[in-house]
Structure 1
Amino acid sequence: MSRFMRLCISLSLVSLSAITTVASAANYSLWINGRTGGGVVGNYNSFTYWGPGTTAAGVNKKSVNWDGRSSIASQSGKIRDALDCFCTGTNWCYVATHSAGDLMMGYTLANFGGSARLKKNAVAGSGGVCGNTDGSTQTGWNIKWVRAASGAAGGSELSDAGSWTTSEPLVQDLKTATARAMYDHNITRNVMFYMYAGAKGTAYSGILPGQDDEVVAYHSTGGMSGSAGAGFCNPSDWFCNDLTLGTAAAEGGRAKWSNHSVVFRDDAEAYNHYANGNWGGIVGVVRNAMVNSAL
């Protein structure tokens, strides 16, 4: 075989290797549940918490299930397993959260997003752990952004008042002062959190300050900073400071956490907190956004 032919074969193999590497890269849409859970933990195709698994919800959608009742710290490993699986190496992720899933994602990014992560192959075993690729590591995860439906990273006054089972560890974590002190909410590893705030509250949610979706108030769903909750409302409410869109401070001067932007404020008071097993409520708004943006 001539030197020229050997050179041509070598160049062809290099080109084929490059094409294979590019082809193996993929984007994934991860959905992180809130309180009560419902999906099978470790099974990324179990969408019981959200709705029919056949419903479109972003490219290569995966349900990142945790039990929805244990403490955030004890369940964070389930989220790290999923992020390692689908958001390392050449793969990138879009992330959607609901309610306490926002607290879970924020906690995981702040505390582990700067750590060394083994690159994984996106092929999960029964426990939700994927295999290694080449044994190399990277710092943190490849995350394009997070979209939070009724984000509860600022806690809920329903937890403060004991409206839920007080012996449940997650309920303790969801107390407003506890949730806000759990980690530095300004540390997002440069990942943007896009907030979707529902406002279809009811009479019994009067314990929640300002506008709310029956479970979480605007101070949390809007990503507002501070050591405790405060009342924020739609512009039509003259007796309450407005929750502003974007990253700007709210009316009255209260700042949002860094890299938190309100992209949907429920001015029509049309969306409540609950997915109802059919991608309902404010979750439906985020699902539409994932379909259109998580490509």
Structure 2
Amino acid sequence: MAKRIVRGVSWFVLFAAGFWALAHATNYSLWINGRTGGGQLGNHADFSYWGPATANAGVNKKSVNWDGYNHISDQNYLVRDALDCYCTGQNWCYIAAHSAGDLQIGYALAMYGGTSRMVKNASPNSGGQCGNLNGSSQTGWNIKWVDVGGGAAGGSELADAGDWALDEPLVSDLKTSTARAMYDHSSTRATWFYMYAGASGTLYSFVLPGQDDEAIAYHSSGGVSGSGNGSFCNPSDWFCNDLTLGTAKNEGGRAKWGYHSVIFRDNGESFNHYTNGNWGGIMSKVRADMEANAR
């Protein structure tokens, strides 16, 4: 009889512990900035890069601030710290990335997404690092999906042509050949990247091939695979190949990277690259999706 009682207590304790863990599972929305930075490093409540912090930008939103100036590899620890904080254990994350933030999350998943990560307590210190929760570990992070606006994982011809400061370390990473060779862009650990491509570019249209948002051309913001850039446009443009929606191959046969899907193509040429301190440009479409679906 005593043995059955012990088993009964053990079962109840395990059930209660499991129920408690599920009840305390939390979802977070992480926002990864692009070039120029803007938020205080390690301060996940600083949304100065994006716009007013009062905006609805997904459940439990956190700003993953890196300096937007130095090499992706040098600043990626800040992204990994945030992923460890909020996307381990029972917690899950939605990710939103802008411009070179696309390189940051892609690099983190490809290079570190298969490594052992300590489960953290989601309570960061002033440097953006969280303490260990219970001594347990897991492989990679719990990520539901990644929304990318004006993604620069394919690089920009503005970096190739010297339109940005060549002494800026990040600019060397943003050269098209360098960005495309930095890591395996299809190695997302089966996490889907949903791409939002803007097309209101006018200022640099003579440098950027095909449709662009004034900083990034469709070959990059549309997740087009391959070592070369290529010229891709809206269906209304007869002079270059169409960037297709979804995961379908683009006109001309160029595929998208694995686990990349074009959710929004700017057929109306209405959205540029810039947030303008008010969640603007192509990121307005991403913010709307995060508000509606990151819950």
Task: Tell me whether the two structures share a fold, i.e. TM-score over 0.5.
Answer: yes
Partner-residue secondary structure (3-state), 1:158:
helix
**Measured at CA, do residues 241 and 3 of structure 1 come closer, stay the same or move farther in structure 2, by a change above 3 Å?**
closer
1:172-187 paired onto structure 2 within 5 Å? 172-187=172-187
Q: Which residue of 2 aligns with 1:35?
A: 35
Looking at structure 2, the residues matched to 139 and 13 of structure 1 have their Cα atoms a distance apart, in angstroms, of: 27
May I ask how many residue pairs the two structures share in their alignment?
A: 294
Q: What whole-Å deviation, never above 9, does each CA across 1:18-53 have from its counterpart, x for those lacking one?
A: 332112111100000000000111011000000000
Q: Which residue of 2 aligns with 1:245?
A: 245
Q: Which residue of 2 aligns with 1:219?
A: 219
Which range moves more in the overlay, 251-260 or 203-212? 203-212
Identity of aligned residues (%): 64
Please tell me the residue identity of whatever aligns with 2:252. G
Looking at structure 1, the residues matched to 254 and 113 of structure 2 have their Cα atoms a distance apart, in angstroms, of: 27
Q: Which residue of 1 aligns with 2:278?
A: 278
Q: What whole-Å deviation, never above 9, does each CA across 1:170-223 have from its counterpart, x for those lacking one?
A: 000000000001111111110010000000011433200000000000000000
Looking at structure 2, the residues matched to 38 and 192 of structure 1 have their Cα atoms a distance apart, in angstroms, of: 27
Looking at structure 2, the residues matched to 136 and 170 of structure 1 have their Cα atoms a distance apart, in angstroms, of: 35
Looking at structure 2, the residues matched to 171 and 202 of structure 1 have their Cα atoms a distance apart, in angstroms, of: 21
TM-score by length of 2: 0.96
2:133 corresponds to 1:123? no
Residue 7 of structure 1 deviates from its aligned partner by 7.9
Please tell me the residue identity of whatever aligns with 1:145. W
TM-score by length of 1: 0.96
Partner-residue secondary structure (3-state), 2:97:
strand
2:60 corresponds to 1:56? no
Q: Is the 8 A contact 1:247 1:261 kept in 2?
A: yes
Q: Is the 8 A contact 2:149 2:282 kept in 1?
A: yes
Residue 280 of structure 1 deviates from its aligned partner by 0.2
Q: What whole-Å deviation, never above 9, does each CA across 1:118-167 have from its counterpart, x for those lacking one?
A: 01011111110001111111110001110100000000000001111110
Q: Which residue of 2 aligns with 1:80?
A: 80
Please tell me the residue identity of whatever aligns with 2:30. L
Residue 244 of structure 1 deviates from its aligned partner by 0.1
Q: Is the 8 A contact 2:68 2:170 kept in 1?
A: yes
Looking at structure 2, the residues matched to 261 and 198 of structure 1 have their Cα atoms a distance apart, in angstroms, of: 15
Partner-residue secondary structure (3-state), 1:205:
coil
Q: What whole-Å deviation, never above 9, does each CA across 1:74-93 have from its counterpart, x for those lacking one?
A: 00100000000000001000
Q: What whole-Å deviation, never above 9, does each CA across 1:242-288 have from its counterpart, x for those lacking one?
A: 00000111000001111100000000000000000100000000000
Q: Is the 8 A contact 1:210 1:218 kept in 2?
A: yes
Partner-residue secondary structure (3-state), 1:63:
strand
Alpha-carbon RMSD across the aligned residues, in angstroms, is 1.6
2:190 corresponds to 1:161? no
Q: Which residue of 2 aligns with 1:103?
A: 103
Q: Is the 8 A contact 1:205 1:215 kept in 2?
A: no
Q: Is the 8 A contact 2:204 2:215 kept in 1?
A: no
Looking at structure 2, the residues matched to 265 and 238 of structure 1 have their Cα atoms a distance apart, in angstroms, of: 16
Please tell me the residue identity of whatever aligns with 1:241. N
Looking at structure 2, the residues matched to 29 and 219 of structure 1 have their Cα atoms a distance apart, in angstroms, of: 27
Could you tell me which runs of 5 or more consecutive residues in structure 1 were left unpaired when the two chains were aligned.
none
**Measured at CA, do residues 205 and 118 of structure 1 come closer, stay the same or move farther in structure 2, by a change above 3 Å?**
same
Partner-residue secondary structure (3-state), 2:148:
strand
Looking at structure 1, the residues matched to 3 and 171 of structure 2 have their Cα atoms a distance apart, in angstroms, of: 71
